[in-house]
């Protein structure tokens, strides 16, 4: 089905673990290369696979997907993937209505680095009701606390159905 983020959403965040690469690919492919929002992705993945993952997503979805760089300004129709061992966050940029990537080197959050919860929670503080989170297949509960925080701040959340997850819960 065609998906349009609500107009007031500025950034879409995706979090995933086990089974995530194919689920993320499916979401990005359905959003399409002309999706008018930036996308932040935290996927529990090995560092040696990150560059391949970004390239594979770009090739198979048509959306420009890169490993996030500290200080980058978010652009629409672009997906930014958390690098290994850094939390992917944002802050308001100098230009009005723009956001800038912050790669955070703080401790693991609930045993993960990068952590979906860290991205969801910290980004929702910046975005408030302009945040949308999509939580996909995985192990453990990384992302659950962040989804609750996004809803508390007036944002939007979507969760993958149990039937379509490789690992649910």
Q: What is the mean pLDDT of residues 36-64?
A: 93
Active-site residue identified among 17, 87, 104, 124: 17
CB atoms within 10 A of CB 118: 27
The pLDDT value recorded for residue 19 is: 84
Q: What is the pLDDT of residue 104?
A: 98
Instruction: Note the pLDDT of residue 12.
Output: 97
For the whole model, what pTM was predicted?
A: 0.93
pLDDT at 136 > cutoff 60: yes
Q: Alpha-carbon distance 140 to 84, whole Å?
A: 19
Spatial neighbors of 52 by CB under 8 A, at least 6 apart, are none
Q: Which of 10, 104, 117, 142 is catalytic?
A: 142
Rounded-to-integer distance, Cα 60 and Cα 113, Å:
26
Note the residue count of the chain. Answer: 169
Residues 11 and 38: beta-carbon distance below 8 Å: yes
Q: Is the pLDDT of residue 1 over 50?
A: no
Rounded CA gap, 45 and 16, in Å?
9
Coil vs helix vs strand at 130: helix
Phi, psi (degrees; rounded to nearest 5) at 156: -120, 145
Identify which of 16, 162, 18 has the alpha carbon closest to the alpha carbon of residue 79: 16
pLDDT 10s digits, 86-102 = 999 999 999 998 999 99
- Parallel, antiparallel, or unpaired: how do β-strands 87-92 and 99-104 relate? antiparallel
Of 96-105, 116-125, 157-166, least confident by mean pLDDT is 157-166
User: Is 87 part of the annotated catalytic residue set?
Assistant: no
Catalytic annotation present for 70: no
Catalytic residue among 10, 34, 44, 87: 44
CB atoms within 10 A of CB 54: 20
């Amino acid at each position: 089905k065609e998906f349009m983020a609500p107009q007031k959403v500025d950034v879409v965040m995706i979090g995933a673990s086990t089974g995530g690469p194919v689920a993320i690919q499916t979401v990005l492919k359905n959003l399409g290369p002309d999706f008018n929002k930036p996308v932040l992705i935290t996927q529990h993945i090995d560092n040696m696979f990150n560059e391949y993952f970004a390239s594979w997503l770009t090739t198979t979805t048509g959306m420009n997907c890169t490993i996030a760089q500290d200080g980058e300004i978010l652009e629409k129709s672009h997906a930014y993937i958390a690098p290994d061992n850094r939390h992917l966050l944002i802050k308001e940029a100098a230009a009005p209505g723009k956001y800038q990537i912050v790669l955070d080197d703080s401790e693991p959050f609930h045993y993960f680095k990068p952590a979906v919860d860290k991205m969801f929670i910290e980004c929702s503080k910046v975005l408030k009701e302009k945040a949308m989170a999509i939580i996909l297949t995985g192990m453990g509960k990384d992302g659950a606390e962040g989804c609750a925080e996004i809803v508390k701040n007036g944002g939007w959340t979507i969760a993958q159905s149990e039937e379509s997850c490789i690992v649910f819960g």
